[in-house]
């Protein structure tokens, strides 16, 4: 028993054709629970300003805000909902202090910095305590009590594809870390970075909107004194706000929502591999945002013993790139990786057809005909089937007789026909192969691969019944059942050879990204799982080789750069629009000082995901 468990563990860790990514250490600390600013630090600045003397008609907004914040913290300690009113007043008074500070940003006025720090801290506490005491309903309004009256503060939403009803919960960004993400894209400024959490109704069918059960996306909150109004901005679109004629940079954290989802909502991998006919959930195509008719689909297909989580780093990089964010909508396909990948390819085609039927039934949307599919490892084989003609080759690779002569039910004939006879899908107009084993992987045919293959449990007995009722109708390679995903990746598998020889659509360009960071005995340089000979494709218009491993390609700068180049080429975007730009690396904590010259920018309101990269795990 213990030996079996040991071998099972070795198989799971070593195999996956290198596609699995172990869940590494991460942590997440909610923000807004405590003041982001030590308001005692405001006193020296205020004393300095008071020493200079206030004008007769000048109000000490900074001092009033600081005192109001301390009073609100005391109320919050005793669970008094009136703390919400206090934090609101503190934020608005700090806004006024900043608005009355000198407009010449080059002097680095300390009052501006103190006011912004205090404003952000007060607003963060307002968001947290407001939801805690049910005064803040993110999809509706904020309730404030002032001078004995109840005021309903409206909430506005700018730059989102989401509906107001999707703003179900706001999570203030606090401290977090994950070794799964290479770079953090964030910037300090005015406003509070938050994560919006949207949960789908439990009984809503997936095809209602193709969104996951829980969606997390970035926003920046601003409490405007005009009205007042609580406004949520999409930091991928809106980057500055105007305060008394000054264009001020919004705070944002584009990576936080990705890290939060990864930490709190990990996706299943092992169960879907071991029991492909009883997966945790069916094969689904997920949208990362609501469908947008004017954007090109970018479809990501993960590999063996993996999930859409594997694309986290690439997703984080692409989303922080303005031209890509403005042009593409990112979708991810999740499937049971223990099942034959030709069945998964059929599932993906079916999902795409449902998308087409829902959002473009007349096939008139040109953007949906320009989809880009990116597949890693076995996901690359699924992607290739999306642009292939089966002709009779796939069927002839497993059968000795025509399909119509089989002794079986009409339902079974229909299933076989749908999976084994196909043409290129019209939504796939470009494909990128990443570490794709076109000619298989020797790992699948070795002992460790055979062991993992033996662990896959197929509960669907329909194939067995089909073989029993049709002796001699099928090739010896499938005489004991249809091969599972690992068996299909064996270089000696005839079925794999048949798929590799299929005609590809002439209208669809393909590209290759492969790894050379390891050595395979008898094959030379490789990514440790897929040899170079197996990873190259004769039809590739471009090929990039990176000195990294099979999984390392999903986190390698060369892969990031090549994907951006391909996406730019596909959408005819200028290369300059696909670079992350911004100020020097922002490693400031929300509680660190901000200088007014780093906060204020002169010019028009900007759009696009202009980000600043920093290492999360420093």
Q: How many domains does the chain have?
A: 2
Sign of CA dihedral 595, 600, 601, 602: negative
**What's the CA gap between 314 and 559, in Å, rounded?**
9
- Domain annotation covers residue 4: no
In DSSP notation, 115-154 reads HHHHHHHHHHHHHHHHHHTT-EETTTEEEEEETTEEEEEE
The C-alpha angle 39, 42, 48, rounded to 5 degrees, equals 160
Alpha-carbon distance of 64 to 115, in angstroms, equals 11
The pLDDT, as a whole number, for residue 268 is 53
Q: Are 224 and 359 contained in the same domain?
A: no
pLDDT at 460: 58
1 falls within a domain:
no
pLDDT of residue 25: 63
Same domain, 529 and 595: no
Q: Give the DSSP H or E segment for 517.
A: none
Burial class (CB in 10 A: 0-12, 13-18, 19+), 152: exposed
pLDDT of residue 445: 43
Residues 6+ apart with CB under 8 A from 520: 442, 526, 528, 531
The pLDDT score that the predictor gives to residue 244 is 79
Distance, CA of 610 to CA of 283 (rounded, Å): 34
Looking up tokens 């406004």, which residue turns up?
231
Does some domain include residue 263?
A: no
Do 15 and 38 belong together in one domain?
no
| Residue 230 · residue 156 · CB < 8 Å | yes
pLDDT at position 436 is: 97
Q: What is the pLDDT of residues 371-421, one digit of tens each?
A: 999 999 999 999 999 999 999 999 998 899 999 999 999 999 999 999 999
Which pLDDT score is estimated for 181?
A: 92
Domain of residue 395, residue span: 10-23+268-577
Beta strand residue intervals within 348-394, DSSP E? 371-376, 388-389
Contacts of 401 (CB under 8 A, 6+ apart): 470, 473
Is the distance from CB of 456 to CB of 276 less than 8 angstroms? Answer: yes
Pair 244, 393 in one domain = no
Residue 291 domain-assigned (yes or no): yes
Q: How many CA atoms lie within 13 A of 543 on its CB side?
A: 14
Exposed/middle/buried for residue 228 (C-beta within 10 Å: 0-12, 13-18, 19+): middle
Question: What pLDDT is stored for residue 108 in this prediction?
Answer: 58
Q: How far apart are CA 210 and CA 172, in angstroms?
A: 26
Cα dihedral sign, 529-533-534-535: positive
Query: Do residues 555 and 589 both lie within one domain?
Result: no
Predicted confidence at residue 555, as pLDDT, reads 95
State how far the Cα of 29 lies from the Cα of 174, in Å rounded to an integer.
5
Residues 231 and 278 in one domain: no
Q: What is the pLDDT of residue 601?
A: 35
Pairing of strands 371-376, 296-301: parallel
Place of tokens 């471009």: 542
Is 498 a domain residue?
Answer: yes
Alpha carbon distance 136, 84 (integer Å)? 9
User: Both 251 and 379 in a single domain?
Assistant: no
Write down the pTM of the prediction.
0.84
Residues 190, 335: one domain?
Answer: no
Beta bridge partners of 432: 374, 511
**pLDDT score recorded for residue 86:** 97
For residue 2, being part of any structural domain is answered with no
Is 513 within the bounds of a domain? yes
Cβ contacts of residue 473 below 8 Å, gap of 6+? Answer: 399, 400, 401, 405, 406
- CA pair distance 142, 157, nearest whole angstrom: 14
Give domain status of residue 443, yes or no.
yes
The two structure tokens encoding residue 479 = 């005489």
Tell me if residue 528 falls in helix, strand or coil. Answer: coil
Together in a domain, 316 and 387: yes
Q: Taking the alpha carbons of 175, 597, 238, 165 in that order, is the dihedral positive or negative?
A: positive
Asked whether the beta carbons of 251 and 221 are under 8 A apart, the reply is no
Q: Which two tokens stand for residue 397?
A: 């690779």
SS3 at position 562: helix
DSSP E strands: which ranges in 415-491?
Answer: 428-434
Q: What is the pLDDT of residue 604?
A: 33
Q: List the CATH number of the domain containing 433.
A: 3.40.50.1820
CB-based contacts of 323, cutoff 8 Å, min separation 6: 567, 568, 571, 573, 574, 577, 578, 608
Separation between Cα atoms, residue 359 and residue 353, nearest integer Å: 10
- State both tokens at 71: 């009073």
**Rounded distance between C-alpha atoms, residue 135 and residue 564, angstroms:** 43
- pLDDT at res. 508: 97
Same domain, 398 and 541: yes
Number of residues that this document lists for the chain: 618
Q: Is 4 helix (H, G, I), strand (E, B) or coil?
A: helix
Same domain, 236 and 96: yes
Instruction: Answer whether 399's CB lies under 8 Å from 390's CB.
Output: no
Cβ atoms of 384 and 431 within 8 Å: the answer is yes
215: its two tokens: 């969606």
Q: Which residues of the chain have pLDDT under 70?
A: 1-25, 35-58, 103-109, 265-281, 443-460, 575-618
Q: Are residues 152 and 15 in the same domain?
A: no
For residue 146, the model assigns a pLDDT of 86
């Amino acid at each position: 028993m213990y030996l079996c468990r040991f071998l099972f563990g070795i198989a799971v860790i070593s195999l996956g054709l290198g596609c699995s990514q172990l869940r590494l250490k991460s942590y997440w600390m909610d923000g807004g629970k405590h003041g982001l600013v030590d308001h005692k630090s405001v006193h020296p600045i205020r004393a300095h300003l008071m020493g200079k003397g206030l004008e007769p008609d000048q109000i000490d907004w900074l001092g009033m805000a600081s005192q109001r914040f301390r009073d609100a913290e005391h109320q919050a300690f005793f669970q008094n909902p009136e703390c919400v009113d206090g934090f609101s007043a503190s934020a608005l008074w700090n806004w006024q202090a900043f608005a009355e500070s000198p407009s010449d940003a080059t002097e680095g006025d300390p009052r501006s910095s103190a006011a912004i720090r205090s404003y952000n801290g007060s607003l963060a506490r307002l968001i947290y305590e407001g939801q805690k005491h049910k005064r803040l309903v993110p999809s509706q309004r904020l309730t404030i009590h002032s001078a004995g009256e109840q005021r309903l503060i409206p909430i506005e939403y700018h730059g989102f594809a989401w509906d107001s009803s999707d703003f179900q919960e706001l999570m203030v960004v606090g401290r977090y870390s994950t070794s799964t993400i290479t770079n953090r894209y964030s910037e300090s400024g005015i406003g509070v970075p938050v994560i919006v959490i949207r949960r789908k109704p439990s009984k809503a069918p997936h095809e209602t909107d193709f969104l996951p059960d829980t969606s997390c996306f970035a926003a920046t909150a601003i409490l405007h004194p005009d009205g007042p109004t609580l406004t949520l901005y999409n930091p991928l679109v809106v980057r500055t706000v105007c305060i008394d004629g000054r264009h001020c940079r919004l705070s944002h954290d584009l990576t936080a929502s990705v890290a939060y989802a990864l930490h709190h909502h990990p996706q299943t991998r092992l169960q879907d591999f071991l029991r492909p006919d009883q997966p945790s959930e069916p094969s689904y195509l997920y949208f990362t945002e609501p469908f947008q008719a004017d954007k090109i689909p970018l479809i990501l297909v993960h590999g063996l013993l993996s999930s859409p989580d594997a694309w986290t780093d690439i997703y984080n990089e692409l989303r922080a790139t303005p031209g890509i964010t403005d042009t593409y909508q990112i979708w991810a396909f999740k499937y049971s990786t223990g099942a034959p990948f030709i069945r998964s390819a059929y599932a993906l085609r079916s999902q795409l057809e449902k998308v087409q039927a829902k959002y473009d039934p007349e096939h008139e949307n040109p953007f949906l005909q320009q989809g880009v599919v990116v597949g890693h490892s076995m996901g690359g084989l699924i992607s290739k089937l999306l642009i292939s003609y089966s002709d009779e080759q796939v069927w002839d690779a497993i059968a000795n007789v025509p399909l119509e002569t089989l002794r079986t039910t009409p339902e079974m004939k229909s299933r076989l026909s749908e999976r084994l006879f196909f043409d290129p899908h019209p939504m796939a107009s470009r494909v990128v192969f990443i570490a794709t084993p076109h000619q298989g992987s020797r790992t699948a045919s070795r002992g460790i691969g055979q062991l993992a293959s033996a662990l896959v449990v197929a509960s669907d007995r329909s194939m067995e019944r089909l073989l029993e009722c049709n002796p001699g109708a099928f090739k010896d390679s499938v005489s004991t059942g249809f091969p599972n995903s690992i068996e299909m990746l064996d270089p000696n598998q005839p079925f794999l050879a048949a798929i590799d020889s299929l005609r590809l659509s002439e209208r669809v360009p393909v590209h290759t990204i492969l790894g050379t960071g390891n050595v395979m005995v008898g094959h030379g340089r490789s990514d440790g799982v897929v040899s170079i000979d197996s990873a190259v494709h004769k039809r590739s218009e471009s090929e990039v080789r990176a000195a990294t491993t099979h999984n390392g390609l999903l986190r390698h700068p060369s892969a990031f750069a090549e994907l951006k180049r391909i996406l730019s080429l596909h959408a005819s975007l200028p290369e300059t629009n696909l670079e992350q730009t911004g100020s020097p690396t922002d490693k400031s904590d929300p509680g660190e000082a901000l200088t007014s010259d780093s906060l204020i920018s002169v010019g028009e309101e900007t759009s696009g995901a202009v980000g600043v990269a920093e290492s999360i795990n420093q």
